[in-house]
Amino acid sequence: MPRPAVDPAVLRGCSGPWDAVVVGSGPNGLLGALTLARRGMQVLVLEAEATPGGGARTLDLGLADGVVHDVCSAVHPLALASPAIGAQWLRARGVDMIAPEASYAHPLDGGRAAVAMRSAAATGDLIGGRRGRVWADVFSSLAAHGPDVMALMLGTAEQRLRAITSPTGARTAALLGRAAALADRSVRSGDDAGALLAGVGAHAISPLSSPTAIGTAVLLGSLAHTGGWPIPRGGSQSLVTAWIAELSELGGSVVTHAPVTSLDQLPPSRVVLLDLPAPSAGRLLAPWARSAASRRLTRRLQVFPPSAGAAAKADLVLSGPIPWAAAQQAPGIARAGTVHLGGSATLINTAEREVAEGRLPEAPVVLVSDPAGADPSREVRGLRPVWAYAHVPLGCPVDPVPLVLAQLERFAPGVRDLVVAARGVPASRMTGHNRSLTGGDIAGGSTALPHLGARPFLATDPHHLATLPGWAPGGEDAEVLLCSASSAPGPGVHGLGGQAAARSALARLA
């Protein structure tokens, strides 16, 4: 195989030699890079966009002077709980994760709201009755076993096995089963617990009865009572800044404006991590597939199915806090870091079902965060950014701003009068600020159970894609691995895909 050519336009004077090259600087790419750099490797990260961070970027969109917006992720229970990132590292690196007293809230028609506080017991009291007692019991117990929860739900096969056979693992697995039963029963019951868990399950952008939605309700629902649903001070970018700072200290580099369209563009290295959607990784690898097995693998990557639904982003600037109608009955809503809009569990389920069937609901589910409520530094001269996205069919070309404002106005009458500026990005144009978000797919491809359980496909090492003979300096072989949300364990800012892919590479080189 010919030695790959270095494209000077891509590298722009970055001096090597590099032990590893990472394509894409999203959370998984950066955590993969850090995992390798901590083991002494010289790592180069190539990012297509003008700024690094992928789904964790915070940008000035020019809507109001000095007001910055989280263009993708904003709320980070997964980063806080992730063994690849974690509270200790975040504290040591000066990232201030502000966990609001109310993790999330769910306004209902008629001026009421259900609120999930950080404390599971307090939430149980608010829900009341038997369901409230079960909530308090199940989620307080799960909160006491946070690491087991993460290992069982997002760990590698080996970590899951270790967790389940640990002294506390079997009990945690049983509690997760009880939480799943609670989620399943409550979303069908129409009570406050049902509304709360419907909003959390809806993060999966799939019908609430699907295993993915129930699993999402259990995982994120449990984290709400563990470390909470924190918002990093200054926006998600503060995570990216901290990752890049450590990477630079370890000798790594991140180069922006560097779209990789062929592996030929990369400098020689022993490891290539692809923080790309599975189809893009397949296209990059296809020219290098020599055997029937590797051609089959690249083909499977290219046809990895997209998610059933998509996100369309709306960034607003408001001249004051959102005037929630339920603020008197449920004061916690004004302190919640995240608010789920869509009404009862039945209405949310209907809307998500329509999305999965490719139809735009009249009132789509909308997720909202007003970060200045937790982090006053986000408010500039009385103006505050409001982050929102609507669940719409894949590739939907409709401007989400009117959809988001209609849902906001439904639960916060008068909010329109506070809107100073707004920008909507339809699902069909989400690739405009992150080329990995094809059609507004924010999950890196299908999260249906078979694709989530074996991601991107069933394999003993699901991250490893290929060995390129003679690619590395000195004619050694190079390992190519998938580390994005298209690989296990899937979407979210947790960096676990990056960490697992990097560990797999290190084990192969050992």
Residue ranges that bind ligand FAD, judged by CB under 6 A? 23-29, 46-49, 54-56, 72-76, 78, 259-260, 275-276, 280, 311, 313, 389, 434-437, 442, 444, 484-485, 491-493
CA–CA gap between residue 106 and residue 20 (Å, rounded): 45
The least distance separating ligand FAD from the CB of residue 57, rounded to whole angstroms, comes to 8
Instruction: For residue 312, give both structure tokens.
Output: 């369309």
Q: Which is nearer to ligand FAD, 78 or 143 (CB)?
A: 78
What distance, in Å, lies between the first and last C-alpha atoms of the chain?
24
CB of 141 to ligand FAD, least distance (A): 24
* Separation CA 227–CA 400 (nearest Å): 31
Q: How far is the CB of 311 from ligand FAD (least distance, A)?
A: 5
Pairing of strands 69-70, 271-274: unpaired
Closest CA to 374 of 95, 123, 96: 96
Contact 488, 462 (CB under 8 A): yes
Burial 135-156 (b: 16+ CB within 10 A, else e): bbbbbbbbbbbbbbbbbbbbbb
What's the min distance (Å) between Cβ of 77 and ligand FAD?
A: 7
Q: Which is nearer to ligand FAD, 8 or 128 (CB)?
A: 8
Quote the least distance from Cβ 262 to ligand FAD, whole Å. Answer: 10
CB atoms within 10 A of CB 60: 12
**Positive/negative CA dihedral, 346, 347, 349, 350:** positive
Greatest C-alpha distance within the chain? 70
Beta bridge partners of 98: 231
Closer to ligand FAD by Cβ: residue 275 or 379? 275
- Written as one string, the DSSP assignment of 100-118 is -SEEEEEEETTTEEEEEES
The Cα 499–Cα 30 span in angstroms is: 9
The CA distance from 18 to 269, in Å, is 6
Shortest Cβ distance from residue 109 to ligand FAD (Å)? 25
Q: What is the SS3 assignment for 224?
A: coil
C-beta closer to ligand FAD: residue 119 or 484: 484
Residue with tokens 């009865």: 209
Q: For residue 255, what are the β-bridge partners?
A: 46
Cβ 101 to ligand FAD shortest distance, Å: 19
Tell me how far, at minimum, the Cβ of 510 lies from ligand FAD, in Å. Answer: 25
Is 134 or 348 the residue whose CB approaches ligand FAD more closely? 348
Question: Smaller CB distance to ligand FAD: residue 169 or 393?
Answer: 393
How far apart CA 184 and CA 226 sit, in angstroms, is 21
Least Cα distance to 178 among 205, 213, 138 occurs for 138
Q: CB neighbours (10 Å) of residue 483?
A: 36
Comparison of 78 and 142: residue with beta carbon closer to ligand FAD: 78
Which is closer to ligand FAD, CB of 186 or CB of 486?
Answer: 486
Q: Which is nearer to ligand FAD, 389 or 411 (CB)?
A: 389
Nearer to ligand FAD, 207 or 337 (CB): 337
In the complex, least distance from residue 341 CB atom to ligand FAD, rounded to whole angstroms: 15
User: Considering the complex, what minimum distance in angstroms separates the CB of residue 307 from ligand FAD?
Assistant: 11
From residue 230, alpha-carbon distances to 95, 96, 148, 387, 432 in Å are 11, 9, 20, 14, 27
Residue 167 C-beta: closest distance to ligand FAD, Å: 30
Decide: helix, strand or coil at residue 194.
Answer: helix
Minimum distance, C-beta of residue 130 to ligand FAD, in the bound complex (Å) = 32
Nearer residue to ligand FAD within complex by CB, 18 or 131: 18
**Amino acid letter at 239?**
L
Looking at beta carbons only, is 46 or 152 nearer to ligand FAD? 46
Burial bucket for residue 488 (CB in 10 Å: 0-12, 13-18, 19+): buried
